[in-house]
Structure 1
Amino acid sequence: MFADLKYLKQHPFQLVSMIAIALIPLIYSAVFIGSMWNPYNETGSLTVDIVNKDDGAKINGEHINIGNKLEDKLKKNDKFNWQFHKDSKAAKQNIDKGKSFAYIEIPANTSKKASTLLDEQPEKANITVKTNPGYNYIGANIGGQSATGIQQKLSDEIRSTYTKEVFSNMKKLIAGNEQTIQALDDMNNAEQQLIDGNQQVQAGLEQLKPLNPNAVGQIAQGNTQVTDGLASLQENNEKLNNNLKANMQQSSDTHFEEKNAEYVADPINMKQQDVTEVENYGQSFAPYIIAVSLFVGAITFSAVYPVGKNMLTRNSVVQSFISKFLLFLIQSIVTSAILTLFLVFVFQIEIDDIVRFTFLIVLWGLASMFLVTTLTTLLGNVGKFLALMLLILQLGSSEGTFPIETSNGFFQFLNPILPMTYVIKGIRESIFGFTGAIPYHDAVIYLIILIVVSLIVLFFSWMMKYKFPKTQTLD
């Protein structure tokens, strides 16, 4: 019953091999998760070349250089390793040789084109962006994001400059209107004084009219016309004054301060709320690597240990099966335990439900072990090949990295069929504390069925080996 365990005791080198194999999932996970633990927080070492050729331009009488303003802002930004150039030769060589991840050129006419914003035919400023995806595709994508950020900053700078200028002019206009209203009030007072004076003159002329009726009458008539003209002018001035005051009253609650200009230039605050909390890229990538590493460990075990060899000196199907079962069980549990302890205490991955997490890892370790060893026991080297092919298919169909919707139809078809899909989603749920489209209990049920079926096939494969002894040499 313990023949395989006794075999390991009698062969120390084989025992050392089993211990080394138990460490393979740990090593696999440590290398992959560790190498991509938090790449998006390490972009400060990625070089992005900025070639600023902007000559500047006059905008509303003020010389402005948008390229220089952008450069000043980027110097305070540590998201990337910004390198600034006036000449494009060195920067182009850097992007061609893979020394930088993005080349961004701000043309000489950037500010000049920006100055046409309020012209009849405004011109857009153009920036040139180059990346080298052939050298490093992910790096080029990240470099491209820096270019998008620069485009946004340039747009913000142009928008902010013009908004502040327009608001400044509006303030001047309001101040001018207030002065006009005051001037019209003064004119109204002066006109009223003239009208009052003319009326006094008119009264005096009436007294003088008996002395020289014709001359005085003509003067009095002219004076009356002047008085009427002044009254008409006063009336028109009052209308204009009232209209200006009404417009000023309507705009009294409208403010054109610098803070208002800043708000118009950037009016939206986006508040992003995540359903789950992910500390870093490594934590989000861990479920995929964990699932793959345990399957790789099972394949390695089957490749190194003679799983199809009968270690008993006498023929007994049940005892042979139990002997193999105990070895596979111990090897799998030890492997899963080592991996779990490493993830929790060395990598210190935050896990929402450690019990469910550990249980699913152990269950997947058992399912991988029994599935691979069953294939190997039943089909020998062909079984090992099939296990390897199964791993490869699951790498593409388990939705470990990109959403399955981005894969082709073949992998989308395999996605709900193969076990690693359920395992990855179950581990994600236990780490991040949510219930997905494939619930945790679905993964548990799938793996239990897989384990039971594998054990049944394993038992019958040993029955075949006793019935056909030559099959014991297949592996």
Structure 2
Amino acid sequence: MKGLSVFSKELGSIVRSPKVIIPIIAVLFIPLMYSGIFLGTFWDPYSKLSDLPVAVVNQDKGADYEGKSLQVGADLVDKLKENPEFKWNFVSAEEAEDGLKNDRYYLMITIPEDFSKDATTLMEDKPKQAEIIVESNEGHNFLAAQIGGTGMQTLKSEVSAEVTKAYTETVFEQLTEISDGFVTASDGATKLNDGASDATTGAETLKKNLGLLVSGTEELKSGLGKLQQGAKSVDTGAQGLKAGSSSLSSGLSQLNAAQKQLMQGVVQSNQGTTQLAAGISSSVEGSAKLSEGSKALAQGLEQYMKATNNEENPALQQLLAASKQVAAGNEELHQGAVKLNQGATQLKAGQGQLQGGMTQFGSKLSEAAAGGKTLADGAGKLAAGTGQLTTGLAQAGQGMNGLVDGSSKLNDGAGQLKDGLVKLTDGSGELATKLNEAAGKTSDIKATDARVDMFASPVDLVEKSINKVPNYGTGFAPYFLSLGLFVGALISTIVIPLRETPVLNASAWGRFISKTLIFAGVGIIQALLADAILLYGLGLEVSSVPMFVLFSIFTSLTYMFIIQGLVTAFGNPGRFAAIVLLILQLTTCGGTFPVELTPKFFQNLGAWLPMTYTVNGYKAIISIGDNAMMWHNSGILAIFAVVFLALTGIFFKSVYGKKQDNAVA
């Protein structure tokens, strides 16, 4: 009761004293000024960005892209004219630079002359990004530059989407061309498949005929072997004929010399002449067959060379020449044999006239001798020709071996060709099918506006918040309310006496109760005034008005008791400590930037300072709607309040309790 009595008397003294009551009334509005005026001024600055002057300079010259005129800079200017986000000023480069330097513009946006041209380099080997140059005068206003930079990021996204639209439209057009190309390619692949099928049939026929060629060359090789053996036999006979004709020529010469002796052996000569005529007749027939055979051989070789395209083959040419020489020699041999046969016939016919016509016989015998010589010469040529024929046939045999091997390899290659053509047929058929499928799929791709917009901007940012904060002022209300109430409590200790009281001989307890109630009353009124202006003046939305007011009162009382304790106990040093405490709390409470962005020391320090819990409590009751969180922070604040109330009580007890004891004594 004594404490309340001291309080009532001291309160009456304050009310009656204008010098005291007027400063106290002024102090009551300190939190309102901090929270109300500051937050009211910057309650929602982002809604007024349209008043922020920004200079725009368009130097873009445009460009051609896939036959289309691209004017990205002009399109950007048109978009800015429709965009109310900033106060756009479309000026020259000189005007923009001067305005930026002299604080008429906060930002200067320059669209370079190659802006559109750079935007068309996507498909080049070294594409170049189009640039928008944003200049700011951070020295004039740093936050304005930051806000402008954020707006430019949005602008960049919109411009990028427009450029991407141009790319996308071109890509869709090319996809249509690709679809047509797939159809054409499919038709070509079908024709390729048909051609490959025909080629496969041809390869089968070629393989079959090459098989016949291999068989024919094998038979030809075998026949050539027999021909070689026959040629050797002919050569042997020709050599014998040569020797015989030489002997005949020599005998006829001797017969001519022994003409006189011949008369004596007419009878014997008649018999020999008969045998000679028969032999010569046989020789004529043999020479005729030999002549025809050699001619046929020469003609056969010539036809063979033409049929096998070996007219330039040296071995076959030599063989052909030899065959012709043999044919010529056989012809001469035949002619000689015919003449010899004629002579023999005459000789036989003239046996009856032999005795009377020895002179005539001598003449005829001379002719026979000449014919024998001719026969000997022809036999020599025949022998030489058959020798060449044998050599040529041997060379032809070697060439035939190569022909057999080549035709066999050609036959194998034809088999591989057939297998490859089968694979080509299968592959071209599958290619035609796949190209038809690809053409069907790409033909469905149409460049609709919705599809182009989707390609240009495939991702839409959907922002969600579990605890939506409507504006800047609401977000910073916990911080500035805490700051305003702390400053209000600090200034209260300047205008309200902390220790002295107009009540004489007031006890320590009475002083403690009186001062505590006075400061508590001031703190409550400060909280109510600040809450009133925020709730009903600025329209602050909170989850619960009663809880908001209750927590404001609790916050104000906590600050008031902390500062009362410091200043009461320590005087001006205590007031200085309160100022230091305020400064530390501004950096550690998380009212502006997240505490995680501060140094680790300040993060740890914040847990020991009261403003951390006032800010968190206000967040809980203003934006989050978590009453449990608010009561948790209130409990921690109660600890601060009790500790510093105890400090105030200890001071009064230690100072004024002793004086009271001395007075009683």
TM range (shorter): 0.7 to 0.9
Matched, 1:118 2:123: yes
Determine which of 510, 523, 528 is the counterpart of 1:332. 523
Residues 345-380 of structure 1 show CA distances to partners (whole Å, capped at 9, x for unaligned) of 111210002222111111111111111112121111
Query: How does 1:7-86 map onto structure 2 within 5 Å?
Result: 7-85=13-91
> For residue 498 of structure 2, what is the aligned residue in structure 1?
307
Matched, 1:292 2:297: no
Q: Is the CA contact 2:499–2:511 (under 8 Å) kept in the aligned structure 1?
A: no
> For residue 207 of structure 1, what is the aligned residue in structure 2?
none
> For residue 412 of structure 1, what is the aligned residue in structure 2?
603
- Higher normalized helix content (fraction of residues): 2
Determine which of 383, 386, 389 is the counterpart of 2:577. 386
> For residue 150 of structure 1, what is the aligned residue in structure 2?
155
What's the secondary structure of 1:135's corresponding residue? coil
> For residue 276 of structure 1, what is the aligned residue in structure 2?
467
> For residue 323 of structure 1, what is the aligned residue in structure 2?
514
Query: How does 1:86-165 map onto structure 2 within 5 Å?
Result: 87-165=92-170
Q: Tell me, in whole angstroms, the C-alpha distance in 1 between the residues paired with 2:16 and 2:115.
A: 79
Matched, 1:401 2:589: no
Tell me whether 174-183 or 21-30 shows the greater mean CA deviation. Answer: 174-183
Q: Tell me, in whole angstroms, the C-alpha distance in 2 between the residues paired with 1:28 and 1:71.
A: 42
Q: Is the CA contact 1:170–1:256 (under 8 Å) kept in the aligned structure 2?
A: no
Tell me whether 295-304 or 262-271 shows the greater mean CA deviation. Answer: 262-271
Determine which of 638, 641, 664 is the counterpart of 1:448. 638
Root-mean-square deviation (CA, aligned residues, Å) is 2.9
Q: Tell me, in whole angstroms, the C-alpha distance in 1 between the residues paired with 2:603 and 2:612.
A: 11
Query: How does 1:107-256 map onto structure 2 within 5 Å?
Result: 107-175=112-180, 242=433, 244-251=435-442, 253-256=444-447
Residues 222-272 of structure 1 show CA distances to partners (whole Å, capped at 9, x for unaligned) of xxxxxxxxxxxxx99998865543322343554443432221111112222
The count of corresponding residues between Structure 1 and Structure 2 is 424
| Shift of residue 183, structure 1, vs aligned partner | 11
- Whichever residue aligns with residue 581 of structure 2, its letter is L
Matched, 1:461 2:467: no
- Whichever residue aligns with residue 425 of structure 1, its letter is N
| Shift of residue 38, structure 1, vs aligned partner | 0.3
| Shift of residue 458, structure 1, vs aligned partner | 1.1
Q: Tell me, in whole angstroms, the C-alpha distance in 1 between the residues paired with 2:427 and 2:646.
A: 105
- Residue identity over aligned pairs, in percent, reads 31
TM-score, length-scaled by structure 2:
0.59
Q: Tell me, in whole angstroms, the C-alpha distance in 1 between the residues paired with 2:127 and 2:610.
A: 59
Q: Tell me, in whole angstroms, the C-alpha distance in 1 between the residues paired with 2:626 and 2:73.
A: 49
Q: Tell me, in whole angstroms, the C-alpha distance in 2 between the residues paired with 1:25 and 1:239.
A: 84
What's the secondary structure of 2:641's corresponding residue? helix
Residues 293-320 of structure 1 show CA distances to partners (whole Å, capped at 9, x for unaligned) of 1111111110111112132212412222
Q: Kindly tell me: are residues 119 and 113 of structure 1, through their superposed partners in 2, closer, same or farther at Cα, counting changes over 3 Å?
A: same
> For residue 229 of structure 1, what is the aligned residue in structure 2?
none
**Unaligned ranges ≥5, structure 2:** 194-425, 660-665
| Shift of residue 170, structure 1, vs aligned partner | 2.0
Q: Tell me, in whole angstroms, the C-alpha distance in 1 between the residues paired with 2:188 and 2:176.
A: 18
What's the secondary structure of 1:277's corresponding residue? coil
Q: Tell me, in whole angstroms, the C-alpha distance in 2 between the residues paired with 1:336 and 1:237.
A: 88
What's the secondary structure of 2:29's corresponding residue? helix
Q: Kindly tell me: are residues 325 and 116 of structure 1, through their superposed partners in 2, closer, same or farther at Cα, counting changes over 3 Å?
A: closer
Larger of the two Rg values belongs to structure = 2
| Shift of residue 163, structure 1, vs aligned partner | 0.8
Q: Tell me, in whole angstroms, the C-alpha distance in 1 between the residues paired with 2:539 and 2:456.
A: 43
- Whichever residue aligns with residue 52 of structure 1, its letter is N
Q: Tell me, in whole angstroms, the C-alpha distance in 2 between the residues paired with 1:173 and 1:117.
A: 19
Q: Kindly tell me: are residues 363 and 237 of structure 1, through their superposed partners in 2, closer, same or farther at Cα, counting changes over 3 Å?
A: closer
Q: Is the CA contact 1:51–1:91 (under 8 Å) kept in the aligned structure 2?
A: yes
Q: Tell me, in whole angstroms, the C-alpha distance in 2 between the residues paired with 1:354 and 1:181.
A: 76
Q: Tell me, in whole angstroms, the C-alpha distance in 2 between the residues paired with 1:121 and 1:330.
A: 74
TM-score, length-scaled by structure 1:
0.82
**Unaligned ranges ≥5, structure 1:** 189-234, 470-475
Q: Tell me, in whole angstroms, the C-alpha distance in 1 between the residues paired with 2:9 and 2:654.
A: 19
Q: Tell me, in whole angstroms, the C-alpha distance in 2 between the residues paired with 1:137 and 1:416.
A: 31
Determine which of 352, 362, 376 is the counterpart of 2:567. 376
Q: Tell me, in whole angstroms, the C-alpha distance in 2 between the residues paired with 1:314 and 1:372.
A: 25
- Whichever residue aligns with residue 110 of structure 1, its letter is F
> For residue 304 of structure 2, what is the aligned residue in structure 1?
none
Q: Is the CA contact 2:54–2:88 (under 8 Å) kept in the aligned structure 1?
A: yes
Q: Tell me, in whole angstroms, the C-alpha distance in 2 between the residues paired with 1:239 and 1:339.
A: 82
Tell me whether 171-180 or 146-155 shows the greater mean CA deviation. Answer: 171-180
Instruction: Between the two structures, name the one with larger relative contact order (CA 8 Å, sep ≥ 6).
Output: 2
Q: Once superposed, which parts of structure 1, at least 4 consecutive aligned residues long, lie more than 6 Å away?
A: 179-186, 235-241
Q: Tell me, in whole angstroms, the C-alpha distance in 1 between the residues paired with 2:69 and 2:540.
A: 54
